[in-house]
Amino acid sequence: MVKAYLLHPMACAALGAGLALAPSPARADFRLCNNTNSRVSVAIAYTTGASWVSEGWWNIKASACETLLRGPLAAQYYYVYAMDERGGEWKGKAFMCTRDREFRIDGREDCFVRGYDRSGFFEVDTGKDAKNWTVQLTDPALSR
């Protein structure tokens, strides 16, 4: 089952409303769709069971979608941080390590000490049995 979250770029936490869409028989992936009028940069974080991993950046054009993780979902919770060209952010209270250029960082502790930035990611609850998921980012004009 694919579910979507509608998020406001200036919100301090994720504001979401789930939409159930018809299941897709093709692939099982974690995708993000940029339904805004500007390019967004996206990072994702998740647990491997043994440790936390954060990775980014995917630069997603306006009105485009991108697969962030391929294959069936391995966890119920994923975390996303995004920012647009105009300074808007989609963020939350789950802090993970990031940096300005492309990254894959193991662990979420001591970000500054290890030479990384610390960013607040919002939580995405995919449910216990979901095999794929799509997050929809929208700006205020589209969420009305």
pLDDT tens-digit series, residues 26-70: 457 999 999 999 999 999 999 988 899 999 999 999 999 999 999
pTM, rounded to two decimals: 0.77
pLDDT tens-digit series, residues 3-22: 333 344 333 333 333 333 33
Q: How far apart are CA 82 and CA 121, in angstroms?
A: 8
What pLDDT, on the 0 to 100 scale, is given for residue 140? 56
Q: How far apart are CA 60 and CA 62, in angstroms?
A: 7
The pLDDT of residue 2 is above 80:
no
A 10 A CB-CB count for 143 gives: 14
pLDDT tens-digit series, residues 73-123: 888 899 999 999 888 899 999 999 999 999 999 999 999 999 999 999 999
- Cβ(30)–Cβ(78) below 8 Å: yes
Share of the chain residues as helix, strand and coil, in percent rounded to the nearest 5: 0, 50, 50
Residue extents of the structural domains in the chain: 6-138
Q: How far apart are CA 66 and CA 44, in angstroms?
A: 12
What pLDDT, on the 0 to 100 scale, is given for residue 75? 87
